[in-house]
Amino acid sequence: MERIETNEAPKAIGPYSQAIKDDNLVFVSGQIALDPGTGEMKGTGIEAQTTQVLENLKAVLEAAGSSMEKALKVTVYLKDMGDFQRMNAVYAGYFTGKPARATVEVSKLPKNALVEMDVIAAVK
């Protein structure tokens, strides 16, 4: 088991790793729209926040030797399911391999984010 950390994604805001790689899988912790350089939320709308979340996921996957194309399962947490279509439009540009996915509405996310995502991907 290997702990994955990169400066290209925000540092963990709690007692957890950005990701854990085990054999041929990488498990990426939930990412919100934190700018890795400033640690501040990037964007106030769902499109901007979704883009930053996906860029953060991409950076962690690449640090683990994987990629968005190797994603197997994504979980999307939305503060408001009314943002589903706009989030999905941004998401579709990043996950061309169409991994399995669950999307759920939650009452609140860290730092009042509008969206959070985690991913499990292959490493080969």
Considering only CA atoms, which of 85, 80, 86, 84 is closest in space to residue 105?
80
User: What is the tens place of the pLDDT at every residue in 50-95?
Assistant: 999 999 999 999 999 999 999 999 999 999 999 999 999 999 999 9
User: What is the tens place of the pLDDT at every residue in 6-52?
Assistant: 999 999 888 999 999 999 999 999 999 999 999 999 999 999 999 99
Instruction: Name the class of domain 2-122.
Output: alpha beta
Going from N- to C-terminal start, the domains of the chain cover 2-122
Under DSSP, the state recorded for 60 is: H
Q: Does residue 3 surpass a pLDDT of 90?
A: yes
Q: Are 119 and 73 within 8 A, CB to CB?
A: yes
pLDDT at 96: 86
Reduced to 3 states (helix: H, G, I; strand: E, B; else coil), residue 99 is coil
Report the predicted TM-score, pTM, of the whole model to 2 decimal places: 0.96
